[in-house]
Structure 1
């Protein structure tokens, strides 16, 4: 079981648009019909978080590349704009991480999923979603 990827979460999102497939994955829980919405919310939050992480990595790569060849001294307007963009994408990723934590907490509470000691609900849900792939 590896880390969740954007392609894996997209596949799960498209698979769980169908109620029957969603109920099949939730069959181990008491009320699968009641868990459809929290599961779909969790998948949407994971999708947004993985997209935000990808954007952070892309902006960091561009900034690293452009700073490598920048002349010594005061940074250019382009570098300053890239740094502002990097700060904005990091902030968006932090907010997305909080949304994932809230969605995971809701899913764990509603489903009654057991969470191991020293494991966050986000980690438990990510492991469970990874096992569904």
Structure 2
């Protein structure tokens, strides 16, 4: 029960951060880099690992660390989708090198957990459907 409550709380935090990032990235004025920073903070909170340290790791290393720390598979899928979304924001914000790293990290995580990941998985409609599925599984 406690684990389930913890997961629901993690999912809600991710959903809130992702929704807020949409507002920041598409608002007036649009601020994709602020949206990217918001998502990075959510990653650190969700993993109980220092987000800055985690996100400096190579793509293969980040996937391995998540496996070793026995991070919940649904949380891992949130991480992969979030990093892929962040990569889009970083491209929009003029940081292609960091965007490429986030994209590679997202796909390394997805491959390590056999999570189907593609650009269409980070649309608002796909995220909303994903939020509903994970919340239902956790309940």
TM-score by length of 2: 0.30
Larger Rg computed on CA atoms: 1
If asked which structure has higher relative contact order (CA below 8 Å, sep 6+), I would say 1
TM-score by length of 1: 0.32
